[in-house]
Structure 1
């Protein structure tokens, strides 16, 4: 099939590489300009560079809604558009232009975790598995019929970076598998159960600020979700920003006020956590490694030289 690819960052790069390695013919690539957004500088393999290395025409757009691009798409005469990590709305006159429509590749197990940063949100929420879905694009974002979907388990110590590497390897088989069904004339795809749909926004500074009213189990997953190279989860100590780089759920149960710097346990310092911490039924978050406001990384036992005081959401 003649394919136009819409994509960005490493997800788009992997999709384009899968298409180049397949029997299909990539006739045009559309990608975004480089971004300085903190999350978009991560996993930033260039789709444009890969396309140009293979002599494929490239159009760079923030939004795919201009007449010049529409003319290029019509000239390319695609059988299908394949999109992965395209960051803005694709209008119906674009996604409906090819003979077989548009196939979107999304890094979640749809209908759950539509939208943005699905791996991070899924890890924070304790999902047992994550994955990649290929679905037909329609007027609702990430809501079209599922053509192919594959999952991988989330391990007890996995970080968001681990999950990225697990799921990015699914892009090629999901993409090529879905295109194989479409090329063979199969249209018996699986409608999404919209009663199970969840939609998440882009992550920002406020989303990595630690709320000590959260249970320790949730905070431990937040720390893993914000593992390097993502921005680290942070709190404040004595008015200064303090990033939490590593932590575990405490073995003991600790009562008191959320955010209290309470007790040395093993290699960590336990911070009281949970909205109902006053009951004494909660585990705390045993912080093991931190980064100070001036960039120093050190074990929590070295940073917290005495117990007492509080970690707070704001200075």
Structure 2
């Protein structure tokens, strides 16, 4: 970066933001201050992938502004001398009064297929919907969510081996490079390209309750549903009577075996040393890893569950 590169006010409270912050400082970007929230607020608002960035800032001599609430006001940052606001890992809209303080405005990052898929949990929704790729893009912030002019973009593949954690890391890694590219463009006076607002669509917010598995879905859909919600997200789950099973790993079992059995979604067909075989609306799935109250389930210690059904049994 040139000596006249902008002074950055950086906003984050998540793992991807800390990674990006490290990459920007390595590249020589002048970070005037970092805005974040303390662990108590990360817990209060159940921030996925929350990281306390304060120790890192202290170790690297950066001014760290810890907010008293999960929102930024002008009074929190007006004393900071900055040219550009960067938001990376922050699930709240930034008031226009805040980013209007910056000479070059503000940059954010999102992933989807702009202008489709703006809004909440884009990685989760993209895997649930069976997408094979996702577009990571850095854009100029507006008063709305994720709809500003795009400054830099990169398509990332979603392979059959990816879950939301590995996809999160891919996007995290690409994002740091995209912010650097966008800063170069801004410093050179280049403009981005606008999103076609006629076709804007937004993903809705997800809550922990949205992780309930519907075994009437196909085996492929259930595998996508589970891998889309592994930690740091709340996770997919089901109930066996009053027992809540958090499902962390599942795979398609076999499209030939059990094809002559009555297709009763949720019925447990077999218990094997590596997991539980469950009927879906199509072929069975193999639950390879599940927990109850945080403890791993040993399937061979539960042979009595064969013939029961997830989601409908009553104790």
Give the TM-score range, shorter chain.
0.7 to 0.9
Over 3 Å counting, the alpha-carbon distance change for 1:33 and 1:268 in structure 2 is closer
Alignment match, 1:150: 154
The whole-number CA distance in structure 1 between the counterparts of 2:173 and 2:137 is 13
| 2:142 is aligned with 1:138 | yes
Q: CA deviation at 1:313?
A: 6.6
Q: What is the CA RMSD across the aligned residues, in angstroms?
A: 2.7
Could you list the runs of 5+ residues in structure 2 that have no partner in the other structure?
1-5
The whole-number CA distance in structure 2 between the counterparts of 1:37 and 1:131 is 30
Contact 1:247 1:268 in 2 (8 A): no
Alignment match, 2:249: 246
Over 3 Å counting, the alpha-carbon distance change for 1:172 and 1:306 in structure 2 is closer
Question: Secondary structure of 2:79's partner?
Answer: helix
Moved more, 120-129 or 55-64: 55-64
Question: Secondary structure of 1:259's partner?
Answer: coil
| 2:207 is aligned with 1:204 | yes
Map 1:160-309 to 2 at 5 A.
160-187=164-191, 189-252=192-255, 253=259, 255-262=262-269, 269-274=276-281, 282-293=282-293, 295-299=295-299, 303-305=302-304, 307-309=306-308
Alignment match, 1:311: 310
Over 3 Å counting, the alpha-carbon distance change for 1:37 and 1:63 in structure 2 is closer
Contact 1:216 1:273 in 2 (8 A): yes
Over 3 Å counting, the alpha-carbon distance change for 1:302 and 1:199 in structure 2 is farther
Could you list the runs of 5+ residues in structure 1 that have no partner in the other structure?
275-281
Over 3 Å counting, the alpha-carbon distance change for 1:290 and 1:38 in structure 2 is farther
Aligned residue-pair number: 301
Task: Give the TM-score taking structure 2 as reference length.
Answer: 0.84
Question: Secondary structure of 1:171's partner?
Answer: helix
Q: CA deviation at 1:81?
A: 0.8
